[in-house]
Structure 1
Amino acid sequence: MARKNVLSGLISEAGEKFTAVNSPQTAPAPERSGGYKGVGALGAVTRSIDALAAKADAAKEIEAKLTAGEVVIELDPDMIEDSFISDRLVQLDSKFEELVEAIRLRGQDSPILVRPHPAHPGKYQIAFGHRRARAAKTLGRPVRAVVKKLDDRDHVIAQGQENSARADLSFIERAMFAGRLEERTFDRETIMAALSADKTTVSKMLSVINRIPKTVVDAIGPALAVGRDRWHDLATRFDAAENAVRAEQFIATQDFRDAVPDDRFDLLSRFLAGRGTIKATVPSAQPVSEWLGDNGAAKAEIKAGGKKFTIALKAKNGPAFGAYITKNLDRLYQAFQDETKSETGD
């Protein structure tokens, strides 16, 4: 198949080639022992857990092959930049916090893969391991990394194959990665190799991304539980031009915004299928009042609506004044509470 031996041309700094991730010599991952899987709900849960574990093993195997025989060094996080193509919709979430805590407790178990930055000498660009690098930076620690000389094609293949093997990357995130590769004029063979996917799967990914407006995809989010077929069904709804406008109105509703990504997908899907209505109205513009100080040298726009109260400062010393307010919020809030209590007699 086209994706075999896609990394066979990658050469280490020592000049030695390493085995391609999908080469015929690569032995299949050993089957996990588990005995009788069972049937029904229990069997489905067991098989699902095994599938996730297998994906985690596959990701580790890919990393091991890409970093085999290479020297692991420590790099300053400030010297590392993200890949030129993003592969995630959400970078910071609860799983990221768990990763930070894990690295805090036991250190960075596996190195990331970087290449010398093609445009900024002395810096590096991440092929895979973005969240590990971000976690290390959060903790103020150096990043354990392997450095390889990769051209753009090999860079995105290494990035895509490692990420595709992970269990926490959703279909729509993989589809958006495919779309970004296409936008940068990578050929279909490279996209297939990067995603470890056949031509039909890649075509469906690109069909979904090219039919659903980007603002809608971004608003829904990763939706980890939603697979290819359901995304494809949603994409067909946008063949009707008016649904793009209807979707934009719906994603602005409070019900939609308050939901988690999987539920957002369901809400929008039902709405476009005619089985839901807009229950919450699109928020209207909040009334704006102004404050002028120091003969107009300082200005503040004040918006009040519901439980939100926003002050936007505009002045030469606006940032400094804002920092002063932030620094004294505890004192101001305490003074507000004391004054409120005295007025109410509590």
Structure 2
Amino acid sequence: MARKNVLSNLMSPASEKLTPVNPVNDEPRQHVTYKGIGALGAVTRSIDALAAKADAAKEIEAKLTAGEVVIELEPDQIEESFISDRLAHSDEQFRELVEAMRVRGQDSPILVRPHPTKSGIYQIAFGHRRAKAARLLGRPVRAVVKALTDRDHVIAQGQENSARADLSFLERATFAGELEARGFDRETIMAALSADKTTVSKMLSVVNRIPKAVRAGIGPALAIGRDRWHELATRFDTPENEDKAVEFLARERVKTRAPEDRFNLVSSHLARKEAPEAVARPAPAEWVRKDGPVRASIKTTGRQYTIALKSADAAAFGAYITQNLDRLYEAFRTENAQKSGD
């Protein structure tokens, strides 16, 4: 008998298998007309998009925990997932979560599985921040326990996190890279991120080309999208740019900036071309008349020859040379011709 997917009875019966040629079909969307235009309309659409993301995350959680018994676990019975899906957490958002749980408790349970190697310990699929907040408050954690394989675990973790509005492109790409490094196939990565083959390929291109130390030095950079990360990734086709970027990101004035600022700064730093080394030029030659009334400073750059006269009658002597340039040049050519004939 074929192994039954432990998540199959939790998701919608109409859901289709995600393949390279069969991306997730979008639900029919209602047409929304925005009364506001310009800046007001953009703000309205942005707020609606964030709300839709939050609703989607809640819906996925509801499907994954539907029909299951919620139990309470002590914080020391719970470990984080075996694979990280975030680079950093917002301190402000976490403080807000702690305060909300302090006032009204834990609204929704987290999803855990029995630890594959440790008896009595559970591993988080999603809900890391809620578990951390409960630990800080000294309270038990409300959780649903499911027996998940590694594949089912990362799919549940990835789908729940991908639906959230505060997950950046780099964090999604990093999650994809860690899944690939642990041997998960492309189909599993696509399912975990609810992304098609092309999108996943671009994510992996970014994390495989930008060194880990550089990605960590920049941070999540929520406002930086796929195209700009891809542009930065091309800079590391030049091997020496890795050390150059790591050194730059370690500077104190850069470390204290926001992730988006660090991204922009290091991008500009790597795009800046090194100034060519100055060519050493010979010191000017000097001609001095024996009796001293006239002296000349002589400079040559290969195709240019400059004589600067310095004396009381420099202007008159210079005018004389100018008036006799034709005669001087003819004398020069004649002398050169004679030397060639010798």
Q: Distance in 1 between matches of 2:216 and 2:15?
A: 35
Within the alignment, does 1:23 sit opposite 2:32 as a pair? Answer: no
SS in 2 for 1:114: strand
Please tell me whether Structure 1 or Structure 2 has the larger radius of gyration of its CA atoms: 2
Give the alignment partner of residue 63 of structure 2, picking from 54, 62, 65: 65
The question of 1:94 aligning with 2:86 is answered: no
How far did 1:245 drift? 1.8
**1:272 maps onto 2:270 in alignment:** yes
Give per-residue Cα distances to partners, 1:145-167, cap 9 Å, x unaligned.
10001000000000000000001
What do residues 290-326 of structure 1 show as CA deviations (whole Å, max 9, x unaligned)?
xxxxxxxxxxxxxxxxxxxxxxxxxxxxxxxxxxxxx
1:339 corresponds in structure 2 to: none
Q: 2:79 aligns with which of 78, 81, 99?
A: 81
Change (3 A) 1:152 1:239: same
Check the 8 A contact 2:114/2:120 in 1, yes or no.
yes
CA distance in 1, matches of 2:236, 2:215: 12
Q: Which residue of 2 aligns with 1:146?
A: 144
Q: Secondary structure at the match of 1:270?
A: helix
2-structure distance, mates of 1:276, 1:164: 40
Instruction: Give 1:9's aligned residue.
Output: 5
Matches within 5 A, 1:173-188: 173-188=171-186
2:256 is equivalent to residue 258 of structure 1: yes
Q: CA deviation at 1:270?
A: 1.1
Distance 2:158 2:221 in 1: 19
| 1:275 to 1:225, Cα distance in 2 relative to 1, 3 A | farther
SS of the aligned residue for 1:19 comes to coil
Percent of residue pairs bearing the same amino acid type: 70
User: What are the equivalent positions in structure 2 for 1:32-71 lying under 5 Å apart?
Assistant: 35-71=33-69
Q: C-alpha displacement at 1:38, in angstroms? A: 3.2
SS in 2 for 1:110: coil
Give, as a single letter, the amino acid of the residue that structure 1 aligns with 2:175. Answer: F
Distance 1:200 1:29, change over 3 A: closer
Distance 2:207 2:37 in 1: 36
SS of the residue corresponding to residue 69 of structure 2 reads: coil
- Whether the 8 Å CA contact 2:83–2:178 is kept in 1: the answer is yes
Residue 42 of structure 1 aligns to a residue whose secondary structure is helix
For the 8 Å contact 1:32–1:50, the answer to whether it is kept is no
Q: Name the structure 1 match of 2:281.
A: none
Aligned equivalents of 2:124, 2:5: Cα separation in 1 = 19
Per-residue deviation, 1:45: 1.5
What is the alpha-carbon distance in structure 2 between the residues aligned to residue 20 and residue 226 of structure 1?
A: 33
Q: 1:79 to 1:92 in 2, by over 3 A?
A: farther
C-alpha distance in 2 between matches for 1:66 and 1:44:
33
> How many residues end up aligned between the 2 structures?
267
Listed one character per residue, the Cα deviations across residues 28-57 of structure 1 (whole Å, up to 9, x for unaligned) are 779689742533222222111111110000
Query: Does structure 2 retain, via aligned residues, the 8 Å contact 1:21–1:66?
Result: no
Correspondent of 2:131 among 117, 133, 142: 133
String of CA shifts for 1:32-86, please: whole Å, max 9, x gaps.
Answer: 8974253322222211111111000000000000011111111101100000000
Which runs of structure 2 are paired with 1:198-277 in the superposition (5 Å)? Answer: 198-274=196-272
Report the alpha carbon displacement of residue 276 of structure 1 after superposing the two structures with TM: 11
CA pair 275-116 structure 1, distance change in 2 beyond 3 A: same
Report the Cα offset of residue 101 of structure 1.
0.9
Query: Who is 1:160 aligned against?
Result: 158
TM-score using structure 2 length: 0.73
Distance in 2 (alpha carbons) for counterparts of 1:270 and 1:229: 16
Q: Is the 8 A contact 2:113 2:124 kept in 1?
A: yes
Deviation for aligned residue 1:19: 2.5
Equivalent residue, structure 2, for 1:297: none
Task: Quote the residue 1:323 is aligned against.
Answer: none
SS of match in other structure, 1:47: helix
- Spell out, residue by residue over 1:112-159, the C-alpha distance to the aligned partner (whole angstroms, 9 max, x if none): 000011010111000000000000101001101100010000000000
Larger CA deviation: 31-40 vs 55-64: 31-40
Kept after mapping to 2: 8 A contact 1:21/1:65: no
Q: Rate the CA distance shift 1:29–1:198 in 2: closer, same or farther, 3 A.
A: closer
Q: Distance in 2 between matches of 1:37 and 1:213?
A: 45
Q: Could you report, residue by residue, the CA deviation over 1:87-125 in whole angstroms, capped at 9, with x for unpaired residues?
A: 011146221111111111111111100001101011100
The one-letter code sitting in structure 2 at the alignment partner of 1:23 is S
Q: With structure 1 as the length reference, what TM-score do the two structures score?
A: 0.72
Distance (Å, rounded) in 2 between the aligned partners of 1:22 and 1:250 = 51
Cα distance change, pair 38–145 in 1 and its aligned pair in 2 (3 A): same
Instruction: Please give the root-mean-square deviation of Cα atoms over the aligned residues, in Å.
Output: 2.6
Where do residues 103-114 of structure 1 align in structure 2 (5 Å cutoff)?
103-114=101-112
